[in-house]
Amino acid sequence: MTRNRVLSAFLINARKRANLSQKIAAERCSLVTSQKMVSRIEAAPYDFSLDVLTDFVMAIGANKTEFGRLVTAPIKLLDRGNLKVNNDLKLESQALQTSIDSIITQLNTLDANVRPNELLDKMKAARNDISTTFDSGILAVMGPSDSGKSHLINLLMCQEIAPEGFQPMTAASTLFIHKDKKPSYLANKDNVIVFKFMNENEETFNLSRLEGDHDSFVIGKGTYKILEKYGARDENDEILYPETYLAVVYVDAPVLKRISLLDTPGQLIDPEYKKDNSQTIDSLDVRKAYEAMGLADAILFTSSMTKFLRDGEPEFYSKILRAPGNVPLDSQSPIKNITILATQAFGVKSIDEFNRKTAKRAAISFNKEMEHLLYESWQTEVEELVLPKAEDWAERMLPFWDDNTEFMAAFTSRFDELVENTTTTLAQRRLNRLRILKRQLVLFVDQELIKLQAKLCTNEERIKEVKEQDARFHREVTGVLEKFHQLRASIKDYEADVLSQADIILQSLQSEDFIMGFIEDRFDDKDSAKKGISDAIGQYLETKMKRIVGISSKSFAQKVEVLVNEFSALVPSGIAQLEGINLNDFNQKSITAVGFDGQSAFIGGLSGIASFGAMGAYVATISSNLGAYLLVGKAAGVLTTLGITGSVSTLPWLVGLTGGPVVWGAMIAAGVGFLVYKLFSNWKKSMAKSTVKGIKESNIEQEVKDQLKHYWSDTAKGFDAALNGLQTEASKHIESLYADAEKTYDATEITQAIDSIKTVQSIING
Q: What is the pLDDT of residues 401-445, one digit of tens each?
A: 888 888 888 888 888 888 888 888 888 878 887 888 888 888 888
This model's pTM is above 0.85? no
Q: What is the pLDDT of residues 243-286, one digit of tens each?
A: 778 888 998 888 888 899 988 776 554 444 434 443 344 444 44
Q: What is the pLDDT of residues 193-235, one digit of tens each?
A: 988 877 787 677 777 777 767 788 888 888 888 877 776 555 5
Residue 386 has pLDDT above 50, yes or no: yes
Q: How far apart are CA 458 and CA 460, in angstroms?
A: 5
CB 315 within 8 A of CB 664: no
Residue 135 has pLDDT above 70, yes or no: no
Polymer length in residues for the chain: 766
As a whole number, the mean pLDDT across the chain is 79
Residue 732 has pLDDT above 80, yes or no: yes
For residue 382, what are the CA distances in angstroms to 76, 232, 327? Answer: 33, 37, 8
CB 117 within 8 A of CB 151: no
Where residue 668 falls among pLDDT bands split at 50, 70, 90? Answer: low
Q: Best-predicted range by mean pLDDT among 207-221, 294-308, 477-491, 614-628?
A: 477-491
Residue 357 has pLDDT above 70, yes or no: yes
Tell me what the mean pLDDT of segment 295-322 comes to: 85
Dihedral of CA atoms 143, 144, 145, 148 in degrees, nearest 10, equals -40
Residue 72: the pLDDT is 56
Residue 664 has pLDDT above 60, yes or no: no
Residue 3 has pLDDT above 60, yes or no: no
CB atoms within 10 A of CB 329: 22
Q: Which residues neighbour 158 within 8 Å (Cβ) at sequence distance 6 or greater? A: 73, 74, 253, 254, 255
Query: Which has more pLDDT, 89 or 341?
Result: 341
Query: Which has more pLDDT, 604 or 212?
Result: 604
Tell me what the mean pLDDT of segment 4-22 comes to: 84
Tell me what the mean pLDDT of segment 353-360 comes to: 91
CB 673 within 8 A of CB 691: no
Q: What is the pLDDT of residues 145-190, one digit of tens each?
A: 778 888 888 888 887 776 665 444 444 688 899 888 888 778 888 8
